[in-house]
A and B are shown apart, each in its own frame.
Chain A
Amino acid sequence: EVQLVESGGGLVQPGGSLRLSCAASEFTLSGYEMNWVRQAPGRGLEWVSYISTTGTTRNYADSVEGRFTISRDNAKNSLYLQMNNLSAEDTAVYYCVREKRYFVWSHAFDLWGQGTMVIVSP
């Protein structure tokens, strides 16, 4: 089955760090741009970060810029999110999301993982 499986979530203290992983199954990750999207409890979706197919281009939401780092290992078919200096506002379900590009200006988040919960609390 084509799917994305996240791991690495959990409880962390404010100021702490966490590294999320996302494993792709039944498709080759290197052919896709990838993103992380998060959802705080009872709230809407928030785009967090983007990475190009080779990892050359990365982009971040203002809310995480300088604290989070997205990376990928195409040989391992995996995506990562290193999160540092975490605060309560980072508490959310984090989704690994595949981006399908139809042509230059047409793309969509066509495959979502099940999400991994991150709780930042003393």
Chain B
Amino acid sequence: SYELTQPPSVSASPGQTASITCSGDQLGNKYICWYQQKPGQSPVLVIYQDTKRPSGIPERFSGSNSGNTATLTISGTQAMDEADYYCQAWDSNTAGVFGGGTKLSVL
């Protein structure tokens, strides 16, 4: 089965840029999504189709995907962005797969 790998944790200072990576075999050939999950809450979609933001997601969230690595970038990180982030792709057209998650700390 397909596997996605994320770093367990990433930190950033307020106002700085945070980058969270997600790696997988030929990941650039798949579309990837990113989800934000705050403690005690359900996940929220923040990026789909590699680079697109759903309505209501701030412009500081952006994504890229090439080769074996996808990246979620948060520009001008804010305290409210502190959360767990999960990348997600499809192993087949009907089977999802998630990365292990990355805890973003805003210090």
Whether A46 is near chain B, meaning CB under 8 Å from some CB there, is yes
Bound Cα distance from A95 to B45, whole angstroms: 14
Partner of A114, one of B42, B48, B93: B42
Most buried by B among A57, A100, A106, A114: A106
Bound Cα distance from A113 to B95, whole angstroms: 19
Let me know if B48 and A59 touch, CB within 8 A. Answer: no
Interface residue count for B (Cβ, 8 Å)?
27
Which residues of chain B (30-88) have a CB below 8 Å from chain A? Answer: 30-31, 33, 35, 37, 42-45, 48-49, 54, 84, 86, 88
Let me know if B96 and A102 touch, CB within 8 A. Answer: no
Let me know if B96 and A112 touch, CB within 8 A. Answer: no
Binary flags per residue of B87-106, CB closer than 8 Å to A gives 1, else 0: 01010111111111100000
User: Which residue of chain A has its CB nearest to the CB of B37?
Assistant: A45
B contacts with A: majority SS: strand
Which residues of chain A (72-101) have a CB below 8 Å from chain B? Answer: 95, 100
Known A105-B31, A109-B88, A110-B54; contact A45-B45, beta-carbon cutoff 8 A: no
Let me know if B45 and A57 touch, CB within 8 A. Answer: no
Bound Cα distance from A45 to B100, whole angstroms: 7
A-B contact count (CB 8 A): 69
Whether B26 is near chain A, meaning CB under 8 Å from some CB there, is no
Binary flags per residue of A40-59, CB closer than 8 Å to B gives 1, else 0: 00001111001010000101
**CB-CB < 8 A to B97: which residues of A?**
47
Whether A35 is near chain B, meaning CB under 8 Å from some CB there, is yes
Let me know if A108 and B45 touch, CB within 8 A. Answer: yes
Chain B residues close to A by CB (< 8 Å): 1, 30-31, 33, 35, 37, 42-45, 48-49, 54, 84, 86, 88, 90, 92-101
5 closest residue pairs by CB, A with B: A47-B96, A108-B48, A44-B101, A112-B42, A59-B94
Taking A45-B88, A50-B94 as known contacts, 11 extra A-B pairs with beta carbons closer than 8 A to each other, sorted by chain A number, are: A46-B98, A50-B96, A52-B94, A59-B94, A59-B95, A62-B1, A105-B30, A106-B31, A108-B88, A110-B54, A112-B42
